[in-house]
A and B are shown apart, each in its own frame.
Chain A
Amino acid sequence: MLERIKSILLVSLVILSLLLIAAINMFDFNRSSESLSEYYPQITLGDNKVLEEVVSPEKIIVHSADESHFLLNRNNPFYSLIYNEVKKFTFFTPAIVEEQIDWDKLRNEKNGLELVFAQAHDSNTLKAIFDLTAGFTYMPSIDRIWFFTDDMEDVGVYFISEELDRVYYARTINTAPLIDKYLSELDDEQRFSYHLSGVIGDAINVEKGYYLPVDELVADRISKKSLNFSENNVIQMIFSVPSSVRLFYSGDNQDTVYYTDGISSLEYYNETNAFSFYQPVLEEQLRFNMERELAATVKFVNQHGGWDGDYLLTSAYNKFNGTKVDFRFTKYIDGIPIYTVKEMYGQIQIEANNNLVSNYKRSTLLVEKTTRQAQKNMSGPELLESLAEIAIEEEQIRDINLFYILRKSDGSLELEPYWLIEYDQASIYMIAAAK
């Protein structure tokens, strides 16, 4: 009995000595040696988003049988009203439309709703918004979805792919009075006229065009007072252990400063108020799935700064022989996208593969206060007249879109509405929307 107690005691003492050795080595009571930055609250540029929000339509065009068209931007209350209703729709049995569609009749003689996306999505991505029934045919590259009342007074739907020059027809369970209900409420909204694209190209099935305001365009000049995130703010936002990050390289003029934690790296651009974060990922792309990559990307942004406003996916393409996907998200103000050339404000660029983000680039500017100034803008006919004066005729124009052009001045961002005109084969012209 005594021997048994001795054995148990000995084993216990051995275990205790091991625990004490581990405690001496592992616990650091010198808490002041820890970096204070570990205790700073997480800093963010904005809120979290779900996948659906960044792939939702850029605008909704409501077509009336009396040849009126209402273009509803994302800030328009009717946009939310219609979108929230439409996304409950369930679609059935899509099939490619073989016969020629009479677009003019559809646009001007039938009530309809047209959802226009900033970037073409395949049907897998569209499942983030709509209830596409199981076994729904895979549809690549959908730019627009057009709801209309068919001859049986049911609602039919065209899924339109401009890139593939293809149209799919599907049925929904919703009925015609729904579209009529929206139309009856839009009387006070700004009306737009349709203009057929002057350069049609090879398109046979899909008609391309653009919409211009019948009367003066409603768009304000906007000024935003901004703050700039410092290198430390960005480090705190991006790295999981900020205290392990060290300055790696800083050039003479300090335009770009490089940091690393030994695995990932950060480039901080002082001149352009932006940063670029790199982390190593497996180069080889395993089973590629755009929707999964996009979901991982949205989650990454949520966890690394968030979304400082209304962003939409405006570009997604494969690069480096398909090993990476490049996603670009554009910020919308009052439903109008920001057009950036040099500045990063208004853009989030991400490279991803295998559901991991390898490069994350965005602006370090955070808007604190917005002031707006109403201005008199040109109407559609006035715009076309101005273009004709510089020898850009309507038949040369491929597309016209409205953007906010960004100019940075001391401590603030100035945003001015501009029309971007694409004409001839690949020419671009920009003109201020103001009169």
Chain B
Amino acid sequence: MDWGKTKTILIIAFLMLNVLLGYQLYLKYDESDYQLWDKGSEKEISELLEEYGITISGVIPSDKQTMNFIRANVLTFEGELLYSSINYDNITENNISSILTDSVKNINEFTYSEQESIEGTQIVFSQLKSGFPLFGGRLTVDLTGNDLLRYKQVYLEVVGEGAGRQIISATKALKSAIDLQLIPNNSEIESLTLGYYGEGVQSILDEIPPVWRVVYKSEDIINVLHINAITGENVLKLG
């Protein structure tokens, strides 16, 4: 027996087999939900947006990362605070933090929300979790005049985090919202923001999911909806 020849034949045979197996593995990955979820969605979304007359004013974020479900205790605090107008003749989002530092807990976890604030009367701060907004955690400061502030804080104290999981892309979230007919025709998408949805959370028994927050304008009315960034479903307010 010519062992050299036999080895050559076997090498060719195994080479072909490995190419086949490699292709098989690629197909399995390519056909998975995980890959299908985002595959071709950019082209698809452009067609969908055109079909429904929906426009996007900004850029669709390209975040593709791992996030997790969280649990939180809901803590509510409110109070009034006198400040000296000698030091603060003009209350702004910048200096209000220093006025509230001693009275409001964990103020460093809140960030100014221009969208929700009303100039001259109310300043709103949104809670952050790992750099993402935690919708539902909010600090509202009413400027009542007479050197008096009235504040109300809903603080979501995170007590547990689940295992990380790859989230869907913003494009996919948008497609899901259109497929579910949540965005009316001829709307204008103003923003797509990644965060956690804690609106209406009552207790630690509620799971807070990562969400894509879609802000859109329809017939001159601003609307907001939240798409679960793991399942692609519409998230409804709890409670």
Contact = CB atoms under 8 A, between A and B. Distances in A.
B14 A38 contact: no
A42 B15 CA distance: 47
B162 interface: yes
B205 A43 contact: yes
Contacts of B159: 41
A29 B32 contact: yes
Contact of A30 (B8, B18, B32, B71): B32
A39 B166 CA distance: 11
Given A3-B7, A13-B11, A29-B29, A36 B18 contact: no
A24 B28 contact: yes
B17 interface: yes
A38 B22 contact: no
B4 A6 contact: yes
Nearest to A13: B14
B236 interface: no
A379 B190 CA distance: 70
Interface string B1-44: 00110011011001101100110110011001111010000000
Nearest to B37: A32
Q: Chain A interface residue count: which class?
A: 20 to 34
A388 interface: no
A14 interface: yes
Contacts of A303: none
A251 B19 CA distance: 56
A27 B8 CA distance: 32
Interface string A377-416: 0000000000000000000000000000000000000000
Given A10-B11, A41-B70, A229 B29 contact: no
A14 B163 CA distance: 36
Which residue, of A39, A41, A229, A233, has the highest number of chain B Cβ atoms within 10 A? A41
A289 interface: no
Interface stretch (A15-23, A143-151, A314-322, A340-348): A15-23
A184 interface: no
A23 B33 contact: no
A13 B160 CA distance: 46
B103 interface: no
Contacts of A233: 205
A14 B68 CA distance: 40
Interface string A38-58: 111111100000000000000
Contacts of A229: 205
Contacts of A36: 230-231
Contacts of B237: none
A181 interface: no
Q: Chain B interface residue count: which class?
A: 35 or more
B207 interface: yes
Contact of B18 (A13, A33, A227): A13
Nearest to A45: B204
B161 interface: yes
A193 B163 CA distance: 57
B69 interface: yes
A36 B210 CA distance: 13
Contacts of B22: 20
Nearest to A229: B205
Interface in B163-207: 163, 165-166, 203-205, 207
Given A29-B32, A33-B33, A14 B14 contact: yes
B160 A43 contact: yes
A227 B202 CA distance: 10
A230 interface: yes
Nearest to B203: A227
A203 interface: no
Contacts of A23: 25
A7 interface: yes
A41 B69 contact: yes
A40 B33 contact: no
Contacts of B207: 40-41
A17 B163 contact: no
Contacts of B3: 3
Given A36-B231, A39-B68, A41-B207, A20 B25 contact: yes
Interface string A310-331: 0000000000000000000000
Interface of B: 3-4, 7-8, 10-11, 14-15, 17-18, 21-22, 24-25, 28-29, 32-35, 37, 68-71, 159-163, 165-166, 203-205, 207, 230-231
Given A29-B35, A36-B231, A41-B207, 19 more contacts: A2-B4, A3-B7, A6-B11, A13-B14, A13-B15, A16-B14, A20-B18, A20-B24, A24-B21, A29-B28, A29-B29, A29-B32, A33-B33, A36-B230, A39-B162, A41-B69, A41-B162, A43-B160, A368-B203
11 contacts: A3-B4, A3-B7, A10-B11, A17-B18, A24-B25, A24-B28, A31-B165, A32-B33, A41-B71, A41-B159, A42-B162
Q: Which 6 A-B pairs have the closest CB atoms?
A: A29-B32, A41-B160, A13-B14, A20-B21, A32-B33, A41-B162
